[in-house]
Structure 1
């Protein structure tokens, strides 16, 4: 019975070490996300994730707007070339 208890304890210790390592990795990722998101350092984790989602949506909207502007400029360039400009 002693061998069984000892094995379980070692297994638990190894699991605890892995859990600690995983927690450190998660903390690093959260800190990295906080540094990317505007004012992210001042947000709690839940708020950080909500703000991240909003930030991604805002960036997607900006990309769409920039594509529209680029398309307009391409159209103007074609018109200018048509008229010798």
Structure 2
């Protein structure tokens, strides 16, 4: 026989079991520590980019572009393979 209670049980979805905690306390501490280390490293050099100590092309070209924008001479002025007007224009 179909009673209202059995009818409601068939109609309503069953509650899903709760999932276990996704991580343990040690994992949360590791995540928080790595996040803090990343934030500190980013904060230390946030306004000092570029430091003009790069030896690669990226730092030199970025330094030249920033020097032009600031109306200054770049610290690495002795280029033999690039014309000075090439990066000013």
- Scaled to the shorter chain, the TM-score interval is 0.3 to 0.5
Q: Scaled by the length of structure 1, what TM-score is found?
A: 0.40
Give the TM-score of the pair, scaled to structure 2: 0.39
> Which is richer in helix?
1
**Max radius of gyration: which structure?**
2
